[in-house]
Chains A and B, each alone.
Chain A
């Protein structure tokens, strides 16, 4: 797909198989780059798209998500050494959220691992990792191939997502449990003309919205047909494509961290002390010290033995103005700086002004009050506000429907 004759800086962004469909739907023509692909920031209005995620059904193009096929006799051992949680415990047909760290126990990236078979996995991640994966494969009998361009992917998220899949013709999809994936037959009326009958697609009950939702993984040749089929099936449930800005609000409500926003990969940080460990990011639940060695284990064990220095927390902030990039203080005069906000938004569903923030010890305890320094743009007249914020539990929004079995019919 790359135009090999041009130097890389002249190469245009790649287009996903959904590009033409998305362009047709886009009202504001707002595309942004993601991992070398052109992807949609916003189609028409962030609010409308956000409410499609929370109150109806939404489609988000996941194709730029970097995907690696990991195969071989040592595939399980390799992944168990790579990521911080146990992969051996992951059964075929299951998906797990996973983190991987460098030797110092600092987070490189996060992603999801699909166990396809006893010796075959798919690792999905926001950014390319091949060099680290290859370094990690020294001494393991494992094959690592990037298959990003071979698989088109859509996130179908929202309370009506299960209904839409059923309307598409995927019978029995309601029996798919959270973090399960399943290969299904693409209904013949949807499959591309001329395609062999029984074209397969993988459906996983996963997502980045903290809501009921699915991710669909399909041969790029079927991509447009799948899109069309879904849009048609979802019409009466107001299914609409969404861009990354709407998704970002949903993921913040769900309390998920985003690379380069809530943490910077330790592979990219240049300054000492700017990379973060999973423990600092409050992702300790994802670290399994009992499973045997993994990269960064010794450093994380040592860190666990020390008093924590900082932690990522959820904040509930007074007022309605999102505290983007706000510095945080222990006192309202702003004398003692104790951290900063990494992600912030007004949560339309919670009706709360929420944020993720990195706070120094001991301010990260739930219930503590801190002060956020917010700058308000009043028609280019900037005002500084010190507003109260309270450390609260995450996630901010966790509806029961996200895990309900079978999913409710909305």
Chain B
């Protein structure tokens, strides 16, 4: 056997690639992880965006990764610590802040009596539905029309779990699953701020507004994904990069190798099987199988090439909806920002700027027609409030997820990036007077920047839009939904696979299961 031969080559050292590598290495495979960038992490990394200032590059909160995954990979032992857990969410408006209840019992706080009562019912039901849907997210999607016992068992298991919901909840699930979130929220609540903030969670990271059908599905998805997490809304010490660093450590400890600055140019195919990769440098690396955490479009159309795939399959891949709608803002600040609505309290939680359903829908309207939102929606954290090490002493970092920023913007992003940044800063300044003067550096990543800097075609956080038509047995596309490409020995393990991104790690772990099952 050739000395350079590995059992598995994993393309991309993001959280899913590393998770997959760690599981494969723990199962005794000789694993090589190849990362194009100078550092591991991908969109779940930490970057120094200004001298001395660091921020999580795309995702900035950890809230979907299952607790058992963190434990199985012993990430705490590999250096993962949390700066904050169970961070509260505040919906901010000009009038004040509303603390969004995190569980059924804390509902009473700031809500009026009617909304508080409604929230108790709503939250309890959504929690039950989320729990029933949870196994769907962890499962390897079964194949349609398959007679394999495992596929049938998976389907039966999922059906049984849903059946256990009981008649009332099943009916409600069937009723709301395809609905728009505005209709659902209007049925329950009065407070515009509460509805705005809940709708924000439904549309965050999607190409949807609150009046778009399917926005309840994305909300249920988020709740179901979050229901298995170790803690809601956590911030690792050192940013999300600390999570991927711990994953890298876990993979290395199990025997995996990690090579940085090694971009893959092609997947080598011999006899209709993936046999290794060709690096950009021209170096050939052989392996028994190749697992790609790159997005499906990149993996199939660039790394593998259409000539190795059937035309109908390629059409499905090329029709994937992969255009991102979400930008990321990093600000280096001279001082701690003071948000008026928090009345002097330190911004240690997650702040949502989405004052009403109408405001969310109007922000979406701009994006529908190829413009950035004139009044953008923000999810803001000040990471240094709980993790001062991310900035020089006394200085601070503000990290914001910004919606909506269409991938394809009329007139192109060049020249409009500055305008968009200015628009966002105006919004922030209105809530935190003096913030603008305190900015010493700013970085705004549009979906196009995310595409080029993180090699995600379309710049979508989930690699491909999360929606019913791109979910479960048809994610990313029919014919590749079991983490296996049509070419033998090529697997997918990225966010474009079931159950999607959001720093969950399940795609990586499920893909590893499939690789091991194939080899066995």
Which chain B positions have C-beta within 8 A of A132? Answer: 311
- Cβ of B479 within 8 Å of any chain A Cβ, yes or no, is yes
Which chain B positions have C-beta within 8 A of A138? Answer: 301, 306, 311, 314-315, 318
- Cβ of B313 within 8 Å of any chain A Cβ, yes or no, is yes
Which chain B positions have C-beta within 8 A of A140? Answer: 306-307
State which residues 284-311 of A face B: CB under 8 Å: 292-293, 295-298
- Cβ of B418 within 8 Å of any chain A Cβ, yes or no, is no
Partner of A81, one of B272, B301, B311: B311
Is B306's CB under 8 angstroms from A103's CB? no
- Cβ of B312 within 8 Å of any chain A Cβ, yes or no, is yes
Which chain B positions have C-beta within 8 A of A77? Answer: 307
Q: A263-297, CB under 8 A of B: which get 1 and which 0?
A: 00000000000000000000000000000110111
Q: B446-485, CB under 8 A of A: which get 1 and which 0?
A: 0000000000000000000000000000000001000000
- Cβ of B310 within 8 Å of any chain A Cβ, yes or no, is yes
Given A103-B479, A293-B272, A298-B272; A135-B309 close (CB under 8 Å): no
Is B312's CB under 8 angstroms from A135's CB? yes
Q: From B307, B311, B313, B315, name the one whose CB has the most chain A CB atoms within 10 angstroms.
A: B311
Given A138-B301, A138-B318, A139-B301; A103-B307 close (CB under 8 Å): no
- Cβ of B213 within 8 Å of any chain A Cβ, yes or no, is no
- Cβ of A136 within 8 Å of any chain B Cβ, yes or no, is yes
Partner of B308, one of A82, A102, A136, A293: A293
Which chain A positions have C-beta within 8 A of B142? Answer: none
A120 to B309, CA, bound (A): 23
- Cβ of B288 within 8 Å of any chain A Cβ, yes or no, is no
Closest to A292 in B: B307
Q: B68-104, CB under 8 A of A: which get 1 and which 0?
A: 0000000000000000000000000000000000000
Partner of A139, one of B272, B306, B312, B479: B306
State which residues 296-328 of B face A: CB under 8 Å: 301, 305-315, 318
- Cβ of B486 within 8 Å of any chain A Cβ, yes or no, is yes
Chain B contact surface mostly: helix
Which chain A positions have C-beta within 8 A of B305? Answer: 139
Which chain A positions have C-beta within 8 A of B486? Answer: 298
A129 to chain B, nearest CB (A): 11
Interface size class of A (residues with CB under 8 A): 10 to 19
Q: B106-140, CB under 8 A of A: which get 1 and which 0?
A: 00000000000000000000000000000000000
Q: A55-85, CB under 8 A of B: which get 1 and which 0?
A: 0000000000000000000000100011000
Is A81's CB under 8 angstroms from B306's CB? yes
Is A293's CB under 8 angstroms from B312's CB? no
B51 to chain A, nearest CB (A): 42
Is A103's CB under 8 angstroms from B272's CB? no
Partner of A293, one of B301, B309, B315, B479: B309
Is B307's CB under 8 angstroms from A295's CB? no
B315 to chain A, nearest CB (A): 4
Which chain A positions have C-beta within 8 A of B314? Answer: 135-136, 138-139
Closest to B272 in A: A293
Closest to B317 in A: A138
Which chain B positions have C-beta within 8 A of A102? Answer: 310-312
A82 to B311, CA, bound (A): 8
Q: From A103, A132, A297, A298, name the one whose CB has the most chain B CB atoms within 10 angstroms.
A: A103
A49 to B309, CA, bound (A): 46
A124 to B288, CA, bound (A): 42
B304 to chain A, nearest CB (A): 10
A304 to chain B, nearest CB (A): 14
A285 to chain B, nearest CB (A): 21
Is B310's CB under 8 angstroms from A296's CB? yes
Which chain B positions have C-beta within 8 A of A296? Answer: 310
A80 to B430, CA, bound (A): 62
Which chain A positions have C-beta within 8 A of B318? Answer: 138
B320 to chain A, nearest CB (A): 12
A296 to B309, CA, bound (A): 9
B433 to chain A, nearest CB (A): 52
Is B308's CB under 8 angstroms from A103's CB? no
Is B311's CB under 8 angstroms from A295's CB? yes
Which chain A positions have C-beta within 8 A of B315? Answer: 135, 138
A195 to B305, CA, bound (A): 47
A28 to B212, CA, bound (A): 61
Given A293-B272, A298-B272, A298-B486; A135-B307 close (CB under 8 Å): no
Which chain B positions have C-beta within 8 A of A103? Answer: 310-313, 479
A236 to chain B, nearest CB (A): 50
A215 to B310, CA, bound (A): 33
A298 to B272, CA, bound (A): 9
Which chain A positions have C-beta within 8 A of B309? Answer: 293
Q: From A102, A132, A136, name the one whose CB has the most chain B CB atoms within 10 angstroms.
A: A136
Is A139's CB under 8 angstroms from B307's CB? yes
A343 to chain B, nearest CB (A): 29
A214 to B98, CA, bound (A): 83
A298 to B314, CA, bound (A): 15
State which residues 120-138 of A face B: CB under 8 Å: 132, 135-136, 138
A296 to B272, CA, bound (A): 13
Given A138-B301, A139-B301, A139-B305; A298-B310 close (CB under 8 Å): yes
Is A295's CB under 8 angstroms from B312's CB? yes
Closest to B307 in A: A81
Given A293-B272, A298-B272, A298-B486; A135-B311 close (CB under 8 Å): yes
B205 to chain A, nearest CB (A): 27
A297 to B269, CA, bound (A): 15
Which chain B positions have C-beta within 8 A of A82? Answer: 311
Is A293's CB under 8 angstroms from B311's CB? no
Which chain B positions have C-beta within 8 A of A136? Answer: 311, 314
A138 to B272, CA, bound (A): 20
A298 to B271, CA, bound (A): 12
A141 to B310, CA, bound (A): 17
Q: From B308, B314, B318, name the one whose CB has the most chain A CB atoms within 10 angstroms.
A: B314
A382 to B312, CA, bound (A): 47
A139 to B272, CA, bound (A): 18
Closest to B315 in A: A135
B183 to chain A, nearest CB (A): 36
B112 to chain A, nearest CB (A): 55
**Can you add 6 more A-B contacts, CB < 8 Å, to A138-B314, A139-B306, A298-B310?**
A81-B311, A132-B311, A136-B314, A293-B272, A293-B309, A297-B310
Could you list some 23 contacts between A and B, CB below 8 A? A81-B306, A81-B311, A82-B311, A103-B312, A103-B313, A135-B311, A135-B314, A136-B314, A138-B301, A138-B311, A138-B314, A138-B318, A139-B301, A139-B305, A139-B306, A139-B314, A140-B306, A292-B307, A293-B272, A293-B307, A295-B310, A297-B310, A298-B486
Nearest 8 A-B pairs (CB), nearest first? A139-B306, A103-B310, A136-B311, A103-B312, A135-B315, A295-B310, A295-B311, A138-B314
Residues of A participating in the B interface, judged by any CB pair closer than 8 Å: 77, 81-82, 102-103, 132, 135-136, 138-140, 292-293, 295-298
